[in-house]
Structure 1
Amino acid sequence: MKFGKKPYASKEKDFRFKTYLTGELPPLPASFGPKAQIADWGMLGNDQYGNCVFAGAAHAVMLWTAEGGHPVLFTVQDVLSDYAAVTGFDPNDPSTDNGAYLRDALDYGRKTGFIDASGQRHKIKAFLLLDILDFNEILMATYLFSDTKLGILLTQTAMDQFYAGQPWTITENDSRVIGGHDVEFISFDGQWINVVTWGKEQKMSIDWFKAYCDEAWAQLSEEFLVNGKSPDGFDMTQLQADLSALTPKPHNFTIDITPGKATAQIGQNVTIQVATKDNGIPVPDQKITVDYGGISRYSDSAVTDNNGIATFNLSCNKEGEESGLFRWVDPAGVSHYGTSFITFSNNVFSSALSSQDFIKRAISVAQNYKTVYMWGTFGAPVTAALINAKAAQYPDHYTDTKVAYMKSLIGKGYFGFDCAGLIKGILWGWSGDASKDNGGAIYNSNGVQDIDADTMINKCSEVSTDFSKIVPGEAVWLPGHIGVYIGAGKVVECTPEWENGVQITACRNIGAIPGLDGRVWAKHGKLPYINYSIEEAFKLEHAVMYFKTDDFSSALMVSNRLGRCAMFCRNGDNANTHKDAMAAKHLVVIGGSEVTNHPNVTNCCGSGAPETAILAAQYAKTL
């Protein structure tokens, strides 16, 4: 037997079953079943090919047409032709037999229809996403529409039960998942769910369904509507109106470049992202080309990912401006252009995250979000698709027990991290946005590579085993594990121990803290991506930065680098040391507020925290 269902991935635009319930649903009977019997469902090629999604679609059409009194048949060739149309499958090329997404097959059924043995196509009028955590909703959809398409995950234990003619039930020694599969839910006897798969009917327990179903869809076929079956409690009129709104809009292709303009230190890596959209919807698998025509003259290209984003990395070892002209030829053959201008200079500090901001973000993850330790993640919302992907990627780590626990968190607002993934996620821009992949973090962005805990400590500077000199914001490490020291003897770490997620613990190298779990770490060091200057003792050079010109844009760049606490003085063309700040006629405070009582300064200005400006004035006075 072959599998063939690809992992489920959520989309905001999916119509949901709950949207169309009016609150007047008919009572759900204790048991129900189809109003027609199928003597021979047929394997339809699923014993040889991974076409289960399309074999299931054919089985559903067979049931609907039989209930309508005009049954139809399907051949293996019919089902394979639809499989090929959607996925590019070629029966002569095994490398193309990679299965399909349920949503893609359903969309094909709505737009094109599934072809039967007579050459007639059978369309789905609509398909609605069901809440797999609400079993009553699954039952009601099946009762109302005769069939529900279930995406399930099969274990070897389940396969052994199938071959033995036994129902799918959970056992103490349930094996790990070996593949995704599509089945058609057609009846319920009050205890067992009855589905069609591999040419016959198969029972599963409710507990097994809850553990191994990762998506479910209600389908409304045209045969269903022709049969005049419009159940009470379901707003068919509103659904029809929404379906008519699905008429394709005229294309509106756009290209967006981020950043459009920026400044970087010579040698610094700058990540440029190109987003392609059609009516605001990301367009994946698009080739983007760029011609650089500034300091360097060369061309490059990249392909947009599933989020419609192509990523380019740019660096330069010379001072000057690097300009990039990006081009996208959209699916309609029209070219779209965008530009990015990056100025490289020795007078600009790296825009590294300040240690203060880094600490605040780490604490926020620990205190304000539901998290769970998931190996290989950096802040993704916990979904069945994520669990399945990681279990397949790291089968030795994701035991059946862990997978079952992870699945119990689906739909409850949890985000997955591992120890290094917590640090990388923050540095990659994690924002806790559950509507975005990885919570808003952009993989491999901001010059931060995808590295593990041991590699990360090796990239740190001032690595030491002496914790008496540790600075807040440093990484703390022991073999295979890493965290962030946040000060006051505390660490933010993501660990499967204790609370099993991102949590605040005690750094016991400094001392135990009542009420906090903790551990002794082996080393600490300064991460290369963090600016620690603010966290260290406030030095004179941190308070005043001299500029001979009135170029305050350069001053602002340095301010950003120093975490919004940099101060700048200008004092005429003859000034050449910080000590000249004592005679400054203007103290310009970036990130401070107005100060008027400094004896050596005739005008102080700025905006932000008052204490910052006052501190700047005090340090300028002591020079």
Structure 2
Amino acid sequence: MQRKLGKLSPRHDARTYRMAVPLAAALPVIPASANWAKDVAWPVWENDRYGCCTQVGVASAIRTWTGAAQAPVLLDDAEVLQNYASATSPPFDPATGANDNGAVELDVLNKWCVDGFERPGQTRDYLTAYGSIAPTDVQGIQRAIAFLGGVYIGLSLPEWACVVGCGDWVFNPQQNNSIAGGHCVWLHGFDADWLYLNTWGEQKRMSWSFLRQFCDEAYGLVSRQNWTGISGLSPNGEALDALVAEMRASAA
């Protein structure tokens, strides 16, 4: 059985902040590993029915950040679908399933920064800033996971990787790697051999070679609302402010 996809082709914008240089200044020594969401039970968030993976990535980021900080904030299915509707045009209809056409990651991130998304409670969730990372920049990906709690990426996923029970995502040039479509995932951990993520309600491992082969966009996300003051490798408020200032300077 094939899984549901929903990430549209990348839209690149020259004004997007570049994350590599400011991250290198913020975290010059990269740890050997980091994982901010070990042993988490992940919802499917309706991604078995609809192409809402770009919003599953948002919900996963919020769950990761808040779970590492204090008490995890877990969006429900209705909130994920409402956020999907708000970031698509024509809008996805949660009541009927109409206009289930997927979304562009850059549109989702811009919407998150400007208008915010639904989350439990009375406060909307706002993203402070985001910056692009080259999918081939291993150190940039590692730094963003260790310092910012994860990386929001897009994949052009091969058909075999969309099949239930396919196991770890490891690139093998000898197999049929025909592309099924685009998929968004949230990377919440890494070590020398693997990247750690959740997708379709499952914990999954991805090899670094798979990332290099199939990732077509990657973004480091800055969330003052969810990620300030966490112990360990993550930043305090002043470090986030300095990082955002550096990102904006690099984009000027």
The answer to whether the aligner puts 1:108 opposite 2:111 as a matched pair is: yes
Give the partner amino acid of 2:47: N
Deviation at 1:236, TM superposition (A): 3.6
Find the residue that maps to 1:107 and give its secondary structure. helix
Shift of 1:113: 2.2
Q: CA deviation at 1:95?
A: 4.7
- Mark the runs of 5 or more structure 2 residues left unpaired by the alignment: none
**1-structure distance, mates of 2:240, 2:56:** 30
Match of 1:213 in 2: 215
Q: Per-residue displacement from partner, 1:296-345 (whole Å, max 9, x unpaired)?
A: xxxxxxxxxxxxxxxxxxxxxxxxxxxxxxxxxxxxxxxxxxxxxxxxxx
Give the equivalent residue in structure 1 for 2:136. 133
**How far is the alpha carbon of 1:84 from its aligned partner?**
0.8
What is the aligned partner in structure 2 of residue 237 from structure 1? 242
Q: So what's the TM-score if we normalise by structure 2? A: 0.86
Q: Give the conservation status (yes or no) of the 8 Å contact 2:159–2:177.
A: yes
Residue of structure 2 in register with 1:348 after alignment: none
Q: 1:181 to 1:238 in 2, by over 3 A?
A: closer
In structure 2, the residue matched to 1:173 is 175
Post-superposition Cα deviations, 1:471-510, rounded to whole Å, max 9, x if no partner, equal xxxxxxxxxxxxxxxxxxxxxxxxxxxxxxxxxxxxxxxx
- Judge conservation of contact 2:79–2:119 (CA < 8 Å) in 1: yes
Report which of the two has the higher share of strand.
1
Matched to 1:237, the amino acid is: A
Q: Distance in 2 between matches of 1:22 and 1:207?
A: 22
CA drift at 1:37: 4.3
State the partner residue of 1:188: 190
Contact 2:22 2:246 (C-alpha < 8 Å) held by counterparts: no
Asked if 1:124 is matched to 2:111, the reply is: no
Code of the residue aligned with 2:144 in structure 1: it is: A
Match of 1:155 among 155, 158, 161: 158
Q: CA deviation at 1:71?
A: 1.6
Out of 130-139 and 84-93, give the one that drifted further.
Answer: 84-93
Q: What is the match of residue 46 of structure 2?
A: 45
What are the superposed Cα offsets for residues 335-362 of structure 1, whole Å, 9 maximum, x if unpaired? xxxxxxxxxxxxxxxxxxxxxxxxxxxx
What is the rounded CA distance, in whole Å, between the counterparts of 1:17 and 1:210 in structure 2? 18
Extract unaligned runs of 5+ from structure 1. Answer: 245-623
The corresponding residue for 1:224 is 227
Q: Could you tell me how far 1:82 is from its partner in structure 2?
A: 0.9
Q: Which stretch shifts more, 24-33 or 141-150? A: 24-33
- Distance verdict in 2 for CA 1:18–1:37, change over 3 Å: closer
User: Are the structure 2 counterparts of residues 112 and 147 from structure 1 closer, same or farther at C-alpha, using a change threshold of 3 Å?
Assistant: same
- Counterpart of 1:13 (choices 1, 9, 15) is 15
SS of the residue 2:31 aligns to: coil
Letter in 1 for 2:216: D
Q: Which residue of 2 aligns with 1:96?
A: 99
* Cα distance, 1:165–1:129 mapped onto 2, change above 3 Å: same
Amino acid at match of 2:29: P
Tell which structure's C-alpha radius of gyration is larger.
1
Equivalent residue for 1:256?
none
Letter in 2 for 1:59: S
The number of residues matched between the two structures is 240
1:9–1:55 Cα change, 3 Å? same
Q: Is the 8 A contact 2:5 2:53 kept in 1?
A: yes
User: What is the one-letter code of the residue matched to 1:67?
Assistant: A
Q: Is the 8 A contact 2:154 2:183 kept in 1?
A: yes
* Separation in structure 1 between the aligned mates of residue 23 and residue 11 of structure 2, nearest angstrom: 24
Separation in structure 1 between the aligned mates of residue 183 and residue 17 of structure 2, nearest angstrom = 22
SS in 2 for 1:216: strand
Change in CA separation of 1:191 and 1:118 when aligned onto 2, cut-off 3 Å: same
Q: Give the partner amino acid of 2:69.
A: G
Aligned to 1:80: 81
1 CA distance for matches of 2:169 and 2:24?
A: 34
**SS of the residue 1:30 aligns to:** coil
- Aligned equivalents of 1:193, 1:80: Cα separation in 2: 27
Instruction: Classify the secondary structure of the residue corresponding to 2:64.
Output: helix
Which amino acid is the alignment partner of residue 69 of structure 1? Q
Instruction: Tell me, in whole angstroms, the C-alpha distance in 2 between the residues paired with 1:46 and 1:9.
Output: 22
Percent identical among aligned pairs is 28
Question: Structure 2: how far apart are the matches of 1:238 and 1:91?
Answer: 37
Cα distance in structure 2, aligned partners of 1:20 and 1:58? 26
- From 202, 206, 217, the counterpart of 1:200: 202
Residues 19, 227 of structure 1: CA spacing in aligned structure 2 closer, same or farther, 3 A cutoff?
A: same
Distance 1:198 1:70, change over 3 A: same
Change (3 A) 1:227 1:122: farther
Structure having the higher helix fraction is 2
**Residues of 2 paired with 1:134 and 1:194: CA distance?**
17
Q: Over aligned residues, Cα RMSD in angstroms?
A: 2.5
Q: In structure 2, how many angstroms separate the alpha carbons of the residues matched to 1:238 and 1:135?
A: 19
Measured after TM superposition, the shift of residue 114 of structure 1 is 2.4
Superimposed CA distance per residue, residues 430-475 of structure 1 (whole angstroms, 9 cap, x where no aligned partner): xxxxxxxxxxxxxxxxxxxxxxxxxxxxxxxxxxxxxxxxxxxxxx
Cα separation, 2, equivalents of 1:23 and 1:72: 30
Query: Are the equivalent residues in 2 in contact too, given 1:130–1:217 (CA < 8 A)?
Result: yes
Q: Is the 8 A contact 1:126 1:243 kept in 2?
A: no
1:143 corresponds, among 142, 146, 150, to: 146
1:389-419: CA deviation from partner (whole Å, max 9, x where unpaired):
xxxxxxxxxxxxxxxxxxxxxxxxxxxxxxx
CA contact (8 A) 1:38 1:63 kept: no
SS of alignment partner, residue 61 of structure 2: helix
Q: What is residue 284 of structure 1 aligned with on the other side? A: none
Q: 1:191 to 1:94 in 2, by over 3 A?
A: same
SS of the counterpart of 2:128?
Answer: strand
2:155 aligned counterpart, secondary structure: strand
Match of 1:33 in 2: 35
1:385-396 alignment, distance < 5 Å: none
Q: Distance in 1 between matches of 2:76 and 2:126?
A: 17
Measured after TM superposition, the shift of residue 216 of structure 1 is 0.3
Q: Does the 8 Å contact 2:4/2:51 carry over to 1?
A: yes
